[in-house]
Structure 1
């Protein structure tokens, strides 16, 4: 099951790449970020941000994700690191990113962070006919009646 749920996760993230990210162990609220995906990298995604963003220093972090259709949810742990490979920046750069940085790719405030993924808990919400009937009639729900849950290494 974990491979299927991981594939479902990556597809859902590609369809709506917005996550809430915060540093592990800090009391600051998580902030919305736009994950930049690379189809060849299945254990990382990237964020463009600014030097004055509270995530810019990197370190252990958590990301929360809810799919566009609210049928998949994930809590992802990993580590934010400066991405120093200029080829990665060039590959991920696009007009939507350029709109935020007056100096373009050489803007002094530009930071590209790589989120190296450790693991995640992923839930799917797919109740099916049986689950919907149980909800509608007040019958006792059992694990799996509303979807699947997996702890996965990413």
Structure 2
């Protein structure tokens, strides 16, 4: 069972290897949408997303971001505020070939918006099951409480 510091560290390493999330505004009736998170090691508790200026998240406000790791062994629900933050230095720092494919006008594309999501709290789950627990699960046995994995609700994802 991982401790809270490990859970937080695992969040960032899992997101670095598969930065795909679902995000939506809390008070909106519209569905959440898939986005690729841009991670900046210098910005604690912050995710960035390149999006179009007319993206449904562009109006900003309270938002939720949901993450499932590529191996389906880690899950996170992140709560915070999202807003457009077109700081050119940050755009330049995060810019990459994948983003460029979506914005043919480059960093100066008139439709480009850099969304900043500041995390206020998070709920984290990690399935760190033992071999015995995996065998019981495969063959229909009952899991012990100590084999269910790790879980925490945190005010900061900083490690």
Alignment-derived partner of residue 51 in structure 1: 53
Alignment-derived partner of residue 7 in structure 2: 5
State the Cα distance separating 1:137 from its structure 2 match: 5.4
2:18–2:70: 8 Å Cα contact kept in structure 1? yes
Q: Which runs of 5+ in 1 are unaligned?
A: none
Q: Which one of 86, 97, 109 corresponds to residue 95 of structure 1? A: 97
Aligned CA-pair RMSD? 1.5
Q: After superposition, where does 1:125-140 map in structure 2 within 5 Å?
A: 125-136=127-138, 138-140=140-142
State the Cα distance separating 1:46 from its structure 2 match: 0.2
Alignment-derived partner of residue 72 in structure 2: 70
State the Cα distance separating 1:142 from its structure 2 match: 3.9
- Which has the higher mean CA deviation after the structures are superposed, 80-89 or 8-17? 80-89
Question: Residues 34 and 137 (structure 1 numbering): CA distance in 2 closer, same or farther, change over 3 Å?
Answer: closer
CA deviation vs aligned residue, 1:88-109 (integer Å, no higher than 9, x gap): 0110111211111122111111
State the Cα distance separating 1:119 from its structure 2 match: 1.0
CA deviation vs aligned residue, 1:45-88 (integer Å, no higher than 9, x gap): 10000011111111110011000111101111111011132110
**Given the alignment of the two structures, is residue 28 of structure 1 paired with residue 30 of structure 2, yes or no?**
yes
**Given the alignment of the two structures, is residue 16 of structure 1 paired with residue 14 of structure 2, yes or no?**
no
State the Cα distance separating 1:132 from its structure 2 match: 2.2
> Separation in 2 of the partners of 1:140 and 1:19?
31
Alignment-derived partner of residue 87 in structure 2: 85
Q: TM-score, normalised by structure 2?
A: 0.90
Work out the number of aligned pairs and report it: 154
> Separation in 2 of the partners of 1:75 and 1:38?
19
